[in-house]
Amino acid sequence: MTAYIALLRKDSASDYGVDFPDFPGCITAGRSLEEARRMAVEALRLHIEGIREDGGAIPPASALDGVMADAQNHEAVAFLVDVPERPGRAVRINVMLPEDILQAIDRAATNRSRFLADAAREKLGRGGAPARAGAAGSDSRKRRAAGTA
């Protein structure tokens, strides 16, 4: 797993902003410090996923001393965001859940698999993104109608 430097910045009239020196253009923000941290994990994960899908190379992580030596970063607070080297391949499993939990998952997300994977990553402390109500899944509604996850 590689850790990339994220820089947290705050102006008096704005939310907490986060940018990544190794990934120009990868930025996010949050109203609180915790929200900014969570959003940073998600933003970097999606940015790297996009680079990989486009066949691009993932840059090596910069050294913290070098990043903080830049005068533009003196006021920023640095923190690390872990990113797995390569996502593992998806494996189909059969899971039994209480019906009320399954109904709650279906109300919260459009993709059961992504919801459960994100929840597992979060619980395991692996930088999982919070499940999103609009999470994309090409056949999730068809599978739900057929009674499979």
pLDDT in tens, 18-76: 999 999 999 999 999 999 999 999 999 999 988 988 889 899 999 999 999 999 999 99
Q: Which fold has domain 1-88?
A: Double Stranded RNA Binding Domain (3.30.160)
Q: What is the pLDDT of residue 11?
A: 87
Single-letter amino acid, residue 132: R
| CA-closest candidate to residue 114, choices 94, 95, 130 | 130
pLDDT at 149 over 90: no
Cα distance from N-terminal residue to C-terminal residue, the chain: 29
Q: Where are the domains of the chain?
A: 1-88, 90-149
C-alpha torsion sign, points 90, 127, 136, 27: negative
Does residue 77 register a pLDDT over 90? yes
